[in-house]
């Protein structure tokens, strides 16, 4: 899971040069206020050479400069709004530097679900990697972890595992929203082309597949038996009604998970609503209620309105190997590229 997150979210590892510089500077300044020379020297040589002209520009976007005094040298301090881009799961951090950054984030009013915001674009050569987000296997993996978390299984009590699964789900939902928006844009272009007499291709087929798969995973119940209880149901159980309405601002594992679950429940509803508005989903689906899916099918007089979603559930269960890995989650978690700042 950590490797997937590094590849799909961490723009320090997989990003354009300017995006890499921005995220590196932000993550370092999250640990402590730092001077200009120290920040520049900490950048990799290739980025110092390629991004030299706009390092100062990026610093102005992210931070406020505190002028030197007799007691201290001049340093940059993160702006309040920059904390929205802070990633506590960055591959830069060791456990110690992560703890330091989280303490400062809490003082700045950081909300855990901010880390689930959509990341910047990948370089064109790496963009095809995102197609893994619309696969049934990944939805089933996330769903399985959430089932164990909701049931308080001791096997899945790891903070990193729980938050990594929620982070992957956020990437899946953001990706699905993009697919819906692109499909709507293609449909508008096709309509315009038909009126002008020209022909254009349609991407509604792949888009409908991706959106239907997401809906099957989110709604669960009779729509996609392989998923069992829908992901929205699991999120609601973990977040609780009060948290789902207002979110949680305190720190700590339970509150972090609750806050993220409340955010994802809302995002999941937005995906379903957008899919229906774009004509990619039937309009009578009812998330959060497994029984309502069965009732909707019965009300259709034996014609299951959610039938298109069933074809995107895996035909056979995915068999998980019995051997358990005892190694560290990912080699990336032990790398500290900012040791010079500690």
Least confidently predicted of 112-116, 228-232, 293-297: 293-297
% of the chain residues with pLDDT over 90: 40
Distance CA 327, CA 342 (A): 27
What confidence score (pLDDT) does residue 295 get?
A: 33
Asked if the model's pLDDT at residue 33 lies above 90, the reply is yes
What confidence score (pLDDT) does residue 335 get?
A: 34
- Quick: pLDDT tens for 177-206: 999 998 877 766 555 555 555 444 455 678
What confidence score (pLDDT) does residue 288 get?
A: 42
What confidence score (pLDDT) does residue 185 get?
A: 72
Asked if the model's pLDDT at residue 86 lies above 50, the reply is yes
Please indicate whether residue 158 or residue 79 has the higher confidence score (pLDDT). Answer: 79
Contact 65, 74 (CB under 8 A): yes
Q: What is the end-to-end Cα distance of the chain in Å, rounded? A: 27
Asked if the model's pLDDT at residue 297 lies above 60, the reply is no
Asked if the model's pLDDT at residue 304 lies above 70, the reply is no
% of the chain residues with pLDDT over 70: 70
Contact 316, 18 (CB under 8 A): no
- Quick: pLDDT tens for 231-288: 999 999 888 754 444 444 444 444 788 999 999 999 999 999 999 998 898 874 444 4
What is the rounded average pLDDT of the residues 42-60? 87
What confidence score (pLDDT) does residue 50 get?
A: 80
Contact 26, 82 (CB under 8 A): yes
Asked if the model's pLDDT at residue 104 lies above 90, the reply is yes
Asked if the model's pLDDT at residue 337 lies above 50, the reply is no
- CA atoms within 13 Å, Cβ hemisphere of 299: 10
The pTM score is 0.74
Asked if the model's pLDDT at residue 10 lies above 50, the reply is yes
What is the rounded average pLDDT of the residues 310-321? 37
Distance CA 342, CA 338 (A): 7
CA dist list (Å): 328 to 3, 8, 215, 324, 332: 12, 20, 34, 12, 10
> Which residues lie below 8 Å from residue 150, measured CB to CB, with a gap of 6+?
234, 237, 238
Distance CA 61, CA 81 (A): 10
């Amino acid at each position: 899971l950590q490797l997937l997150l590094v590849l799909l979210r961490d723009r320090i590892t997989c990003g354009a040069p300017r995006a890499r510089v921005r995220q590196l500077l932000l993550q370092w300044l999250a640990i402590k206020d730092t001077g200009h020379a120290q920040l520049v020297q900490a950048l990799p040589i290739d980025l110092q050479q390629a991004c030299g002209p706009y390092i100062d520009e990026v610093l102005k976007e992210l931070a406020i400069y505190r002028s030197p005094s007799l007691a201290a040298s001049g340093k940059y301090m993160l702006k309040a709004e920059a904390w929205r881009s802070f990633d506590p799961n960055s591959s830069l951090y060791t456990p110690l530097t992560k703890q330091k950054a989280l303490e400062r984030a809490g003082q700045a009013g950081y909300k855990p679900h901010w880390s689930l915001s959509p990341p910047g674009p990948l370089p064109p050569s790496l963009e095809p990697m995102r197609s893994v987000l619309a696969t049934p296997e990944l939805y089933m993996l996330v769903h399985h972890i959430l089932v164990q978390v909701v049931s308080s299984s001791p096997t899945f009590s790891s903070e990193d595992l729980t938050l990594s699964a929620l982070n992957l789900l956020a990437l899946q939902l953001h990706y699905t929203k993009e697919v819906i928006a692109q499909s709507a844009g293609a449909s508008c272009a096709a309509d315009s082309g038909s009126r002008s007499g020209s022909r254009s291709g349609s991407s509604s087929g792949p888009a409908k597949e991706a959106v239907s798969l997401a809906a099957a995973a989110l709604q669960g119940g009779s729509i996609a038996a392989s998923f069992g209880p829908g992901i929205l149901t699991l999120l609601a159980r973990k977040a609780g009604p009060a948290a789902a309405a207002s979110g949680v601002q305190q720190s700590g594992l339970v509150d972090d998970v609750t806050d993220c679950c409340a955010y994802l429940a809302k995002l999941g509803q937005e995906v379903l609503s957008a899919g229906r508005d774009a004509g990619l989903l039937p309009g009578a689906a009812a998330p959060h209620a497994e029984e309502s899916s069965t009732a909707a099918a019965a009300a259709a007089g034996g014609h299951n309105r959610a039938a298109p979603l069933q074809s995107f559930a895996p035909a056979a269960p995915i068999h998980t190997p019995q051997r358990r890995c005892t190694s560290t989650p990912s080699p990336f978690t032990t790398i500290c590229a900012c040791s010079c700042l500690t």
